[in-house]
Structure 1
Amino acid sequence: MSFEKVDGYLGHLVLKTDGTILASGGDLENDERIAASLLKVVSSATKGDFGSEVENISVNYPEHSYIIVTSNQKINITKRNTADIY
């Protein structure tokens, strides 16, 4: 998957379900702090059963958002610029 093609792309993380960073880029390059925080969001939303009830989550801030998608026992996170959208 090419994250850079996402409109407003600022960065990305690909995590294993245990929080291990498999790939990263842009603003989120090896950002373990953000990875741990967003893993907690996913764990809370899915009750630890990744992809069972929740497949995607958006965390929105005034200037950017995190789009989180679970698939194939991986967590894909994209950081997007939302300042120009709203």
Structure 2
Amino acid sequence: MKTVKYAAAALLLTTVSSAFAAQAVNPADAQNLHKTGVVSATGATTLDGLEARLAAKAEAAGAKAYSITSANNNNKLSGTAVIYN
């Protein structure tokens, strides 16, 4: 019975936390949002990894959305994203 309770709690936390995650937006949609800053990330080995790092930093900064503005590859990927509320 404890396993069912823990599984239900984990599912609820996952659902709630993903509901508040910062969402990627394209530049056209970003024009309707309020820019609140810029985040950067380094050390990713894939584009998906870079996007995940930028999304995590945007969420940690309290952003509702982000738009990736650059990605560079010098053995490891790095990039920046504008964040919005």
Q: TM-score, normalised by structure 1?
A: 0.31
Give the structure with the higher percent strand: 1
Give the structure with the higher percent helix: 2
Which structure is richer in relative contact order (CA contacts within 8 A, separation 6 or more)? 2
Q: TM-score, normalised by structure 2?
A: 0.31
Q: Which has the larger radius of gyration?
A: 2
